Amino acid sequence: MKNSIIVIDFGSQYNQLIARRVRDFGVYAEVFPCTSSLNEILALEPAGIILSGGPSSVLSKDAYTISQEIFELGIPVLGICYGMQLTAHLAGGKVVKGKQGEYGKTLFEITHHCELFEGVPAVSTVWMSHFDEVIEIPEDFLICGKSQSEIAAFYHPKKKIYAVQFHPEVSHTEFGEQILKNFVLNICQCEKNWELKNFIEYQIQEIRDKVGDKKVILGLSGGVDSSVASVLLQKAIANQLTCIFVDTGLLRLNEAELVMKTYAENFDIQVIKVDARNRFLDKLAGITDPEQKRKIIGHEFIEVFNEEASKIENASFLAQGTIYPDVIESQSVKGPSATIKSHHNVGGLPEDMHLELVEPLRELFKDEVRKVGIELGIPAEMVYRHPFPGPGLGIRILGEVTPEKVEILQKADAIFIQELRNSGLYEQVSQAFVVLLPVKSVGVMGDERTYEYTAVVRSADTIDFMSATWSRLPYDFLEKVSSRIINEVQGINRVAYDISSKPPATIEWE
Ligand code: XMP
């Protein structure tokens, strides 16, 4: 796609964020692993290339690198953090191990006027996260910015190669948006032609061309991605689409009914609901290990789905709600093992199904999927739902999963979510749920001593789900949730609030 920006991924947790920021300007951006060949990169005819940050050191033997030719293509390049150090290293400058590095908010001073900093004040706050430092810039380059005593930005006035030590993509960098805008819109001169309306029209035509008059099956989870994919497919191929919704018994309270009702009321889409609750719960009896539970649930899901799908005659395609972060994570330089979710959505097609994949949302970030959803007329309540993991309550009931515990957790979780919605907090947090611990403690109800389970209320704030902080929910709100759960849910007599950030904790408990 002409007019696009390519972000080369050197393993930074912010690489997706860079691409998202660029798309926010109306310019298409894609993330490529640093192991991509120049031909692969050039095939997209990029108007500019951004080298992302990354955790390694250019000084180490097995450091991630890129062909030096990237600087000779005549395409503007912006190196960020590791990308700056790599630019210096490859172009003949000098990078050394720093003494203490720079982390967090730092003052940045523009020391020489450069078009990258158009509209940025002489001194501003930037976000730093690096250990190595550039102490000599390559020949013919000019230093254009410093932080305290260090070189924090340099550029090549003729070749349009720019490098900054800080992260313009994170919101803590005061003028980061302006700097990225200068690069994308002024220096690369990209046109603003990435619009989701065009995307919808284009995808509908793509789906029609690909599918023809064949039938398509889609696994509906009730989540945003598969819902948006199903509606987009319906618009393209109408009743050639059949959705399969598996009730695993590990869903939220009344979730299965809610999904079926929403579809019946809003869309003309054929949805087959499979009640597999007993199958899942039977298979999980006696199992306590989280990974084993995940495997059993995943395996059972595929079995149930296959059984149902094989009843649909002449189905040739399997549609999935794979979104861009799933694609990036599974191709990341860190490899799929560095991520948790990749295997759920990417490449999970059972070989014996002989179906071809249709993934209409493969290019979109979550917030773009949501915008497409709204554009397609999907109710906002559905579009803005928090993510829900494939193994569902199976990994939120710690230890063995039993029907009794599922019932207890569903009730407690429903109270928390209802209260979040009632207080207008639901959309302010990224993911919220309740966890049931296999721990009993003593309490008192009326004049009776109780000995019941402990529930943990968890709410996380995050942009990319790779790192997260716990939500600062108001005390009064937490008190209300706690007292409602203890009073209304038999089986729970104690509620705790999880105040762990990720890392080192994770969002889910298993
Ligand atoms: P963690 O717990 O790793 O979760 O901080 C990050 C995000 O991934 C979701 N998650 C999963 N999603 N299958 C899924 O489909 C899983 O096994 C799984 N484990 C975690 C989690 O809900 C959060 O959004």
Rounded to 10 degrees, what is the CA torsion of 188, 191, 193, 194?
20
In this structure, the strands spanning 431-445 and 448-461 are antiparallel
Rounded distance from Cα 137 to ligand 1 centre (Å): 42
Q: Using CA atoms, how far apart are residues 61 and 81, in angstroms rounded to an integer?
A: 19
Whose Cα sits closest to atom 4 in ligand 1?
A: 507
Q: Whose CA is nearest to atom 6 of ligand 1?
A: 465
Q: Where are the beta strands (DSSP E) in 42-96?
A: 46-51, 77-80, 94-96
Which residue puts its alpha carbon closest to atom 10 of ligand 1? 389
Largest pairwise CA distance in the chain: 83
Residue pair 253/282 in contact by the 8 Å Cβ criterion:
no
Q: Could you give the C-alpha distances from 399 to 107, 406, 438, in angstroms and in order?
A: 49, 12, 6
pLDDT in tens, 79-113: 999 999 999 999 999 999 988 889 899 999 999 99
- Please provide the size of the chain in residues: 510
Measured CA to CA, the distance from residue 167 to residue 6 in angstroms comes to 17
Q: Kindly give the distance from the C-alpha atom of residue 406 to the centroid of ligand 1, in angstroms, as a whole number.
A: 19
Look up tokens 């199904």; give the residue. Answer: 353
Find the helix or strand (DSSP H, E) in which 496 lies.
strand 492-497
Report residue 321 CA to chain centroid gap.
Answer: 13
The residues lining ligand 1, judged by C-beta closer than 6 Å to any ligand atom, are 294, 340-341, 344, 387, 389-391, 431, 465, 502, 506-508
pLDDT (mean) for 263-274:
96
Q: What is the pLDDT of the chain when averaged over all its residues?
A: 93
CA-based nearest residue to 227, from 213, 240, 241: 241
Q: Quick one: pLDDT at residue 197? A: 86
**Residue of 252, 341, 345, 434 best suited for mutating to test ligand 1, as the one with most atoms within 8 Å of CB:** 341
Q: What is the pLDDT of residue 306?
A: 93
Helix, strand, coil % over all residues of the chain, rounded to 5: 35, 25, 35
| CB atoms closer than 10 angstroms to residue 475 | 9
Determine the pLDDT at residue 260: 97
CA separation for the pair 228, 364 (Å, rounded): 11
What's the rounded mean pLDDT across residues 274-288?
98
- The contacts of residue 297 (CB under 8 Å, 6+ apart) are 248, 250, 280, 284, 390, 391, 392, 394
Rounded to the nearest 10°, the torsion over CA 310, 390, 216, 373 is 160
Tens digit of pLDDT for each residue in 290-331? 999 999 999 999 999 999 999 999 899 999 999 988 888 777
pLDDT tens-digit profile of 348-372? 555 666 899 999 999 899 999 999 9
Cα–ligand 1 centroid distance for 340 (angstroms): 7
Query: In degrees, to the nearest 5, what angle opens at C-alpha 229 toward C-alphas 302 and 309?
Result: 30
Q: The pTM is what?
A: 0.82
pLDDT tens per residue across span 373-430: 999 999 999 999 999 999 999 999 999 999 999 999 999 999 999 999 999 999 999 9
Q: Which of 34, 81, 114, 144 is catalytic?
A: 81
SS3 129: strand
Measured distance CA(111)–CA(149) in Å, rounded: 12
**How far is Cα 298 from Cα 505, in angstroms, rounded to an integer?**
23
d(CA 182, CA 369): 27
Helix (H, G, I), strand (E, B) or coil at 439: strand
Query: 89 CA distance to ligand 1 centroid (A)?
Result: 38
Q: Is the dihedral of CA 417, 458, 342, 332 positive or negative?
A: positive
- Report the atom number in ligand 1 closest to the C-alpha of 468: 5
Q: Which helix (H) or strand (E) holds 13?
A: none
What is the structure's pLDDT at 464? 78
Instruction: Name the closest-CA residue to atom 22, ligand 1.
Output: 389
Question: What's the token pair of residue 309?
Answer: 């799908």
Please report the beta strands in 309-430, taking only residues with DSSP state E, as ranges in sequence order: 315-319, 356-358
Per DSSP, the residues of 231-275 read HHHHHHHGGGEEEEEEE-S-SSTTHHHHHHHHHHHH---EEEEEE
How large is the average pLDDT for residues 486-504?
A: 96
pLDDT band at 3 (very low <50, low <70, confident <90, very high): confident
Which residue owns the Cα nearest ligand 1 atom 3? 506
Q: Say how many Å lie between the CA of residue 20 and the centre of ligand 1.
A: 21
Residues 184, 118 contacting (CB under 8 angstroms): no
167 is catalytic: yes
Work out the pLDDT band at 453, boundaries 50, 70, 90. Answer: very high
- Whether 203 has a pLDDT exceeding 70, the answer reads yes
CB atoms within 10 A of CB 169: 27
Residues 331/40, Cβ–Cβ less than 8 Å:
no
